[in-house]
């Protein structure tokens, strides 16, 4: 399969780096709506290519937020509401009316905000390795302290040494899986990373998760030290129309390292024609 098409698109005066995978047409399969993917903090779009390649039938859109990957730096920080607005305007530029949305880790908070802010844009919602924000059950302090700076993106050696503690799961059992991961990293700008941190300061969805009406798939790794799976269970209790899937043996990066377990669940959720129980 060819790599996703990567281009720069100006939105709100910022050149965003955008990747689109058109999806393979199959007989009898309409492939559903395009899938908009919100990435984790500091993570450039290439890091999600393995997941995208595992779903070749899906049309997928992903972009580097300002100051991350090769997107231009914004002159001011944006809250999650501002980043959701940026995504909305990008979809308009690309000609999409409605999408399914998946958010990973930090991107899961942005996905929640997008679903609430633009309910008609978002048909279904997938939340992976994420939480309700400031009101959450936190990971270990020693793990959280390593997320304050983008050092893991700047130093491959640091990533190799710290990954097992930060991400857990697959990286503890097989540190070699990080080799391909680090080869795809484009280090974020320092202020771009800080702006991402600032986007979530004080933000929480805990008081309005019960108002989300999109069918939602909540996924968590059973061995995630950064966002303990109890957060997924709490979100599952609050979101009215949801399915919960705990990835056996999954760490924080289960979307990349447990693809064989994750993709069938995601595909089944997106392709299901039977509405989830309210």
Catalytic residues: 105
Q: Is 27 exposed, middle or buried (0-12, 13-18, 19+ CB in 10 A)?
A: exposed
Count of CA atoms in the C-beta half-sphere (13 A) of 232: 28
Whether the Cβ atoms of residue 21 and residue 6 lie closer than 8 Å to each other: no
Place of tokens 């060819």: 2
Assign 17 to helix, strand or coil: strand
What is the C-alpha separation between 154 and 255, in angstroms, rounded?
A: 22
Q: Whats the size of the chain, residue-wise?
A: 278
Beta carbons within 10 angstroms of residue 133's beta carbon: 20
Cα 124-54-242 angle, rounded to 5 deg: 25
């Amino acid at each position: 399969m060819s790599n996703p098409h990567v281009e720069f698109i100006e939105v709100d005066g910022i050149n965003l780096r955008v990747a689109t995978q058109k999806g393979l047409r199959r007989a009898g399969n309409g492939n559903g709506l395009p899938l908009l993917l919100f990435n984790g903090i500091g993570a450039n779009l290439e890091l999600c290519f393995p997941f995208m390649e595992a779903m070749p039938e899906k049309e997928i859109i992903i972009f580097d937020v300002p100051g991350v990957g090769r997107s231009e730096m914004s002159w001011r920080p944006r809250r999650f509401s501002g980043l959701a607005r940026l995504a909305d305007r990008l979809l308009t530029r690309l000609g999409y009316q409605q999408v399914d949305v998946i958010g990973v880790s930090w991107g899961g908070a942005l996905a929640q905000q997008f679903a609430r802010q633009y309910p008609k844009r978002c048909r279904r919602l997938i939340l992976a390795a994420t939480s309700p924000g400031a009101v959450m059950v936190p990971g270990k302090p020693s793990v959280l302290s390593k997320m304050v700076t983008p050092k893991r993106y700047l130093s491959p050696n640091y990533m190799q040494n710290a990954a097992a503690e930060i991400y857990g799961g697959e990286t503890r059992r097989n540190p070699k899986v990080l080799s391909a991961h680090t080869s795809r990293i484009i280090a974020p700008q320092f202020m771009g990373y800080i702006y991402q941190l600032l986007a979530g300061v004080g933000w929480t969805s805990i008081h309005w998760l019960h108002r989300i009406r999109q069918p939602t798939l909540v996924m968590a790794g059973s061995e995630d030290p950064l966002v303990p799976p109890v957060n997924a269970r709490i979100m599952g209790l609050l979101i009215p129309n949801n399915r919960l899937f705990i990835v056996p043996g999954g760490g924080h990066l289960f979307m990349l390292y447990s693809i064989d377990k994750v993709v069938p669940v995601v595909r089944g959720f997106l392709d299901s024609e039977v509405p989830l129980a309210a």
